[in-house]
Amino acid sequence: MNYLVKQNSKPVVRSDASTWYIIVNPVAGNGAVQKLMPRIKELLLSEGIEFELAETEYKRHAIELSKAAIERGFSKIIAVGGDGTNNEVVNGIFSQNALAPGEITYTLLPVGTGNDWIKEHLIPRNLLLWAEMLKKGHTRSQDVGLVSFHNNGIVEKRYFVNVAGMAYDPFVLAEMEKIKRPLNRIAYLFYSLISIFKYKLQPARIRFDDRLIEDEFYLINVGICRYSGGGMQLVPHARPDDGQLALTLAGKLSKMGVILNSYRFYNGKIADHSKVDTFHTERVTVEALDDPIALEVDGEIIGETPVEFKILPGALRIIVPED
């Protein structure tokens, strides 16, 4: 059994269709992944799970590794890390041309600081329960979002499987990045509250279906799944397999109004606020009416307006616990 493959090794053709290709982010979870890897390997071997493994070495390396693995013939992929690693591997799956994404089976072994995507699918953190889930092989199809955006004047595209945010979300992430804080529930809530005193509402023009909305926004969120920011539900109406983007728009909320209503971020009741509206749609475009508005997807700031979101219904096949 070949269970460890270095990234710089010569390509080999996979002969066993049951072999999993595992992409590990060794720095995820503030180093927790590195500590857990001996246990993870031992468990997989004891369970008779065939695998090859590669570790990421730099940002977005997981995109390259997953593309290369599929081009070598792998159709079963596991990511080990958090939401960022999850996003990168999915982008590798959808940016390669060797195999239709629907023919690839994927799942995440969650060991990162930010693990919001797994909450939607109830993917366990416990290694034994996770290994049991993997062996049972129960799959479901999830929608995938595709967003086009500008990055230094160049139009780029990115796939996402959880939540994208504009206006306040990337502002908070940028504030956290300044002091290298890990993205966990406590840190995100803390910076969400204190950053409000620095944030200036951003005017935007939003088009979807036959509607056009121009306003100054506190939140612009587009979701496939419900949870982000350490358990917040900014798109509580999102469903991962309904073929729709969940859109949340929060207009001219006062700073104190945001603080007093912060509990709504977690209880799924954000739409109960009079200045918050939620919608379902298949396509959304966002244009800035002043300075460019930043965009983050699955917890990473990637670019700015103009932005267009689309939905790819049922495009990703994932292993999840049985209902």
Q: What is the DSSP letter of 228?
A: B
For the entire predicted model, the pTM comes to 0.91
Model pLDDT, residue 180: 64
Per-residue pLDDT of the chain in tens (323 residues, 90 and over written 9) = 333 433 434 444 444 578 999 999 998 877 788 889 999 999 999 999 999 999 999 999 999 999 999 999 999 999 999 999 999 999 999 999 999 999 999 999 999 777 999 999 999 999 999 999 999 999 999 999 999 999 999 999 999 999 999 999 999 888 877 776 555 667 667 777 788 888 999 999 999 999 999 999 999 999 999 999 889 999 999 999 999 999 999 998 888 888 888 889 899 999 999 999 999 999 999 999 999 999 999 999 999 999 999 999 999 999 999 97
pLDDT recorded at residue 13: 47
Q: How far apart are CA 94 and CA 90, in angstroms?
A: 6
Residue with tokens 């799956």: 93
How far is 194 from 177, CA to CA, in rounded Å?
A: 15
> Which pLDDT belongs to residue 4?
40
Q: Note the helical H segments in the chain.
A: 32-46, 61-72, 83-95, 117-121, 127-136, 168-178, 185-194, 255-260, 264-267
Residue type for position 89: V
pLDDT attached to residue 272: 93
Residue 2 has a pLDDT of: 38
Cβ pair 224, 142 in contact under 8 A: yes
Distance CA(72)–CA(102), nearest Å, equals 17
pLDDT of residue 185: 64
Q: Which two tokens stand for residue 44?
A: 């997989």
Domains by residue range for the chain, with CATH: 20-137 (3.40.50.10330), 145-312 (2.60.200.40)
